[in-house]
Structure 1
Amino acid sequence: MSDLWLAPFLEFGFMQRALLGCMALALSAAPVGVFLMLRRMSLMGDAMAHAILPGAALGYLVAGLSLGAMTAGGIAAGLAVAVGSGWVARHTVLKEDTSLAAFYLLSLALGVLIVSVRGNSVDLLHVLFGTVLALDDAALLLLAGIMGTTLVSLVVLYRPLVLECLDPGFLRGRSRWSPAAHYGFMGLLVINLVAGFHALGTLMAVGVMVLPAATARFWVRRIGPLLALSVALALAAGASGLLISYHTGWPTSPVIVLGLGAMYLFSLLFAPQGLRRRHPPHSHFNA
């Protein structure tokens, strides 16, 4: 049994790098996903994951499968969509969700078109579904840097982020931290989606954010345990997904996300805050 679970990670360097990449992504993206959920912005995370595609595709067009070019392009595209949709929402009759949907649909179509016309089917699959089993040292350094930036930023912004989840109007009226919390969080969202893009692809990157947070919410109510449990679930799904993919030959990114989905469905059915709950849900959470 130990050979089944440990041998792939002990014998193969690509499995070790993939595990390190999944660990970095879990420690970074899962906490961002918790605040994304508490701010009721989970669908926005999905939209932003698609919005980075044209920037990454342009980076690929200019420099091929270059880590730096695709990262810079993805970050630029994500920030452009976030700022552009917000500007449209503030200056027109459209709400932010509608303007964001319009921007991300255009971005997704443009990105797929660029890769399809100028690349090949292998390149398209690389962009859409990632290459976690092909992470090199440069990609691991990028994921580690994003992880460190995210954790430090969350420590600095923790209190204003919690307040913004509880009462954004109060934070805007009483604290100068409101813009830093809002735009800082949007920046963290974009860079973590770019990190997830390199490992899991644009179509799967948001899964490691939303599903661990949603699953953990069925079990705990306080923010500290919520953050810890979401990270643990993401780590477990990453490690088990790599092993299942290795032994079955199935694509790794969908297996990891489906593992998270299985945890979510189990928690939905059996967790204290899931369908078993007999009392009506509260409209607040505990800090």
Structure 2
Amino acid sequence: MMIHLLFDPFISYGFMRRALVACLALSFSTTPLGVFLLLRRMSLVGDALSHAILPGVAIGYLVYGMSRAAMGIGGFIAGVVVAVLSGWVSTMTSLKEDASFAGFYLGSLALGVILISLRGSSIDLQHLLFGSILSVDTSAIYLIGIITSITFLTLALLYRALVVESFDATFLRVNSSIFPCLIQSLFLALVVLNLVIGFQMLGTMMSVGMMILPAIAASCWTNWLPYMFFLATIIGLVCSWCGLSWSFYSYIPAGPTIVLIASIVFLFSVLVGPRGGKVRLFRRRRHNVMVSKDNK
């Protein structure tokens, strides 16, 4: 019965199949980036960039209406500009990078909302902020497939440098002709590109959730990097499938539902995962206390 409930919406309805394919492709593309953001201690930077794309999305919306291509190009340009300006400010001043990103993304978010409100209705603003995954069409799926392929190819070419730079940027600077700033710039461009694709389905508020939450949950179960990539992708796939099914039967928004399930998996992993599981840590401490009492 449960299996029938999970499969029936995708067998019976084309829009559910398209949404599922888009979510699965997005999971393959964004979760490896989330793992690298986690390794580089830049999880909140990903959240900042997801909000920073909103002014570009708003300008594309004002000029061309609800055109995915125009909003995507505008969002990508806005995200790259914010990333470059934040890096420049943190380099030229004593301000740390996270504070610089926070300042720029808050201003970008406010500017984007104001720009959209100049012409759009509350429904348009809601679609841009929280996504409309069930309206994904075939052309959007092709675009997501292209971005996923670009992401995989770039990560494959830069994998070694990204891993080394995540743990020891000084070592990479001394022992390689590749500058860490170039690696970081390419990586942030990939993050922005995937956030731009993700916002069209999950919205600017939710797109970073599918990038970060599966990565954090996977890190609670393993510290072996290849396995972490694999587990994060599996978590993203399962959350997408279950979120779409739940939203279909409950008549609730699909994007927030997917992110909510990812949050539940994250909380479960934090509590019981072998790497930082609070329940296991509590049991271990209790066992140590009992052993010490017995020895006395």
Shorter-chain TM-score above 0.5: yes
Please say which of residues 154-163 and 175-184 is displaced more in the overlay. Answer: 175-184
1:67 and 1:137 mapped to 2: Cα distance? 12
Aligned residue in 1 for 2:200: 198
Q: Note the C-alpha offset of 1:249.
A: 0.3
Deviations 1:260-287 (A, max 9, x none): 01101111111111222459xxxxxxxx
Deviations 1:85-140 (A, max 9, x none): 11112222322222211111110000011112210011001100011110011111
Aligned residue in 2 for 1:250: 252
Classify 1:93/1:221 alpha carbon distance in 2 versus 1 (closer, same or farther; 3 Å): closer
Which amino acid is 2:191 matched to? L
Matched, 1:136 2:137: yes
Aligned residue in 1 for 2:225: 223
2:130 and 2:69 mapped to 1: Cα distance? 18
Aligned residue in 2 for 1:60: 61
Please say which of residues 142-151 and 96-105 is displaced more in the overlay. Answer: 96-105
Aligned residue in 2 for 1:283: none
Q: Note the C-alpha offset of 1:164.
A: 0.8
Q: Note the C-alpha offset of 1:44.
A: 0.4
Aligned residue in 2 for 1:236: 238
Q: Note the C-alpha offset of 1:82.
A: 0.3
Gaps of 5+ in 2: 286-296
Q: Where does 1:50-89 land on structure 2 (aligned, <5 Å)?
A: 50-89=51-90
Q: Note the C-alpha offset of 1:166.
A: 1.5
Please say which of residues 249-258 and 239-248 is displaced more in the overlay. Answer: 249-258
State the 4+ residue runs in structure 1 displaced beyond 3 angstroms.
Answer: none
Aligned residue in 1 for 2:212: 210
Aligned residue in 2 for 1:13: 14
1:149 and 1:229 mapped to 2: Cα distance? 21
Task: Report which of the two structures shows the higher radius of gyration computed on alpha carbons.
Answer: 2
Which amino acid is 1:228 matched to? F
2:212 and 2:176 mapped to 1: Cα distance? 28
- Cα RMSD of the aligned pairs, angstroms, is 1.2
Deviations 1:210-251 (A, max 9, x none): 100000011111100000000000000001000000000011
Structure 2 SS opposite 1:204: coil
Q: Note the C-alpha offset of 1:179.
A: 3.8
Deviations 1:155-189 (A, max 9, x none): 11110011011111111222122344211111111
2:200 and 2:162 mapped to 1: Cα distance? 27
TM-score norm. by structure 1 comes to: 0.95
Which amino acid is 2:220 matched to? F
Which amino acid is 1:35 matched to? F
Please say which of residues 2-11 and 87-96 is displaced more in the overlay. Answer: 87-96
1:255 and 1:214 mapped to 2: Cα distance? 18
2:4 and 2:170 mapped to 1: Cα distance? 55
TM-score norm. by structure 2 comes to: 0.92
Corresponding pairs, count: 279
Aligned residue in 1 for 2:118: 117
Aligned residue in 2 for 1:168: 169
Aligned residue in 2 for 1:282: none
- Percent of residue pairs bearing the same amino acid type: 49
